[in-house]
Amino acid sequence: MSAFAQRLLAWFDQHGRHDLPWQHPREAYRVWLAEIMLQQTQVATVIPYFTRFIARFPDIHALAAAPLDDVLALWSGLGYYARARNLHRCARQIVAQYGGTFPRTLEALMELPGIGRSTAGAILAQAFGQRTPILDGNVRRVLARYGAVPGWPGTPAVQKRLWQLAEALLPDERMADYTQAIMDLGATVCTARKPACVRCPVAPGCAALAQNAVAEYPHPRSKKKRPQRHARLLLIRNPQGQLLLERRAPLGIWGGLWCPPLLGELHLASGTWAQILLDTASRVRQLPPLRHAFTHFDLELRPLQIELDAMPELICEPGQQLWVSLSTLSHLGLPAPVRRLIEQSFSLGST
DNA sequence: AAGACGGGGTG
DNA sequence: CACCCAGTCTT
């Protein structure tokens, strides 16, 4: 067994995290759900979502039987909604194809929607104790430093080196603990900024530390500036004070979520109809704009509040548009910034 | 090989 | 504000 793995396991027993909700019990369904939630999302954010999910969907059969809308509603606020759609598809596929039991090979797991190599490795190691590496953001950073691996980890060549290193350092036993340990090390000691090398159990073998160049690894991605985009957000209310929502297309930004009609960028199918409605409306009020940052562009939402004197005819297919009272908003899957803007706009009796 | 895909945390 | 985070999928 590598000295790296030995030192890491000994450190984990003393300083690792042993109380995360998905560790008790450490079974495939819970490990899988946690791994999907933890993609690009931090532990502290995930925990309350994980707890709510398990309470609502205690096993994979419950999840597979649920409507996608219920899953999206519980996911609202976590972002990357393709994860929730894949999660739901994956649950149904595991039930249909494997009778609700997770497959135990890397190849079979990676066939499933939303499960890539790292998530498949995490499930095999944590739930089944198999000797399979993972490579998430924390592990990438730990290994890039430990092996002084040059280059930006986003490139295939660097990825390949890191996977090889991850494989080479695996222990002969205790795979579940080891997998948790290397993530804990990245999260609490080998952090992105101000790493605590004095507390690091594997400092004796760390190549970057030996070069006194820990901060040089991993090499950051080349930076590029984000384009600015903007859109009208139409907060349309009928005479009963209900708000009009429309289901967004399944793919793309906020895919499958409910959202008031948008004009301009990110527009919905009803764009033309909404434009006409806007042109003929009499009571229109501008609300303060909201800025929202995505990974790849900045979005400014410019809300208009529109109070209708009569019910208009809706133009979309049934089930794609919805009048909702403000009090039932919380049960629907809306983008978090949009939800906040609506609550803010209507909270102080500003009708 | 590069881009799409959210939202929250941190210094 | 800039950067980071328990990645995967598509083109």
Report pLDDT digits (tens) over A95-151: 999 999 999 999 999 999 999 999 999 999 999 999 999 999 999 999 999 999 998
Token pair, residue A258, equals: 């409910």
A7, pLDDT greater than 90: yes
Query: Contact, A206 vs A32, CB < 8 A?
Result: no
Q: Report if CB A97 to strand B is under 7 Å.
A: no
8 A C-beta contact, residue A285 and residue A215: no
Instruction: Return the structure tokens found at A188.
Output: 């609490």
Q: Considering any atom of strand C, list protein residues whose CB lies within 7 Å.
A: A 17, 20, 34-35, 38-43, 80, 82, 86, 110, 112-120, 122, 136-138, 141, 180, 183-184, 186-187, 192-193, 220-221, 223, 293, 295
Q: What is the pLDDT of residue A16?
A: 93
- In order of their start, the domains of chain A are 3-216 (1.10.340.30), 229-347 (3.90.79.10)
> Mean pLDDT across the stretch A190-204?
93
Rounded Cα gap, residues A167 and A139, in angstroms: 12
Q: How many CB atoms lie within 10 A of CB A307?
A: 16
Lowest mean pLDDT of A78-92, A157-171, A306-320, name the range: A306-320
Q: For position A350, what pLDDT does the model report? A: 43
Question: Which residue, A343, A79, A337, A344, is CA-closest to A231?
Answer: A337
Query: Residue A115 and residue A88: Cα distance in Å, rounded?
Result: 12
Which band of pLDDT confidence, cut at 50, 70 and 90, is reported for residue A348? Answer: very low
Nearest protein residue to nucleotide B11, judged by CA and C1' positions: A193
